[in-house]
């Protein structure tokens, strides 16, 4: 990450094309520590790379109409759809709303489509189904749930959820006969 405070001759100015303020250092421009460089999306190689949904959505607004082929936006939407599938959210899952006014509310997934998740809230005040972006919900686990780890260093471990802490789930591993913590 580029830190403009650690370098001399950094100029902060408005970029006319993007209508945003960038830190300019030599011929390079930076925003929030990231180098901004223009190139065709076809130049990207993303085989065996699974970016997070937040990473994909962070770059989606940069696709400008008329500046690139219309298929660029379709490619990003395809990546978002692949990420949604990789998240493993399916009908019947318990989820927690991670963003917005309803943050923290739990719900059950009714359906999943392209970039939307339809849920039924577990709330007496809210009735009916609600839709959220797939990036606005996260799987929700409670002690006693039986789970299988699908990603990370504990991939393949199965067991019972013993506790949850922030975004971490502690499970009692059947194979190891002890609690495992990511």
Q: What is the pLDDT of residues 68-107, one digit of tens each?
A: 444 556 666 666 555 555 467 888 989 999 888 899 999 9
Q: d(Cα 131, Cα 101) in Å, to the nearest integer?
A: 13
* pLDDT at residue 107 in the model: 94
Question: How many C-beta neighbours within 10 Å does residue 79 have?
Answer: 20
Which has more pLDDT, 58 or 7? Answer: 7
pLDDT at 18 over 70: yes
The CATH code belonging to domain 141-182 is 2.30.30.30
pLDDT at 12 over 50: yes
Q: 25, 87, 80: which is closest to 57 by C-alpha?
A: 80
CATH class of 89-140: mainly beta
Residues in the chain: 182
Domain with CATH 2.30.30.30 in the chain: 89-140, 141-182
pLDDT in tens, 109-123: 998 876 788 999 998
pLDDT at 35 over 60: yes
State pTM to two decimals.
0.51
Q: d(Cα 143, Cα 41) in Å, to the nearest integer?
A: 44
Measured distance between the N- and C-terminal CA atoms of the chain, rounded to whole angstroms: 26
């Amino acid at each position: 990450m580029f830190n403009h405070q650690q370098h001399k001759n950094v100029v902060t100015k408005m970029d006319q094309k993007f209508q945003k303020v960038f830190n300019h250092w030599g011929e390079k421009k930076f925003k929030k520590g990231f180098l901004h460089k223009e190139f065709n999306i076809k130049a990207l190689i993303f085989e065996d790379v699974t970016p997070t949904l937040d990473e994909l959505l962070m770059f989606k607004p940069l696709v400008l109409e008329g500046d690139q082929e219309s298929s660029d936006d379709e490619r990003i939407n395809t990546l978002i759809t692949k990420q949604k599938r990789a998240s493993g959210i399916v009908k019947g899952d318990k989820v927690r709303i991670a963003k917005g006014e309803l943050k923290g509310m739990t719900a059950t997934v009714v359906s999943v489509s392209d970039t939307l998740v339809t849920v039924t809230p577990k709330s007496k005040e809210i009735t009916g189904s609600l839709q959220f972006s797939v990036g606005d919900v996260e799987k929700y686990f409670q002690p006693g749930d039986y789970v299988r780890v699908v990603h990370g260093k504990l991939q393949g471990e199965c067991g019972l959820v013993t506790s949850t802490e922030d975004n971490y789930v502690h499970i009692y591993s059947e194979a190891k006969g002890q609690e495992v913590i990511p």
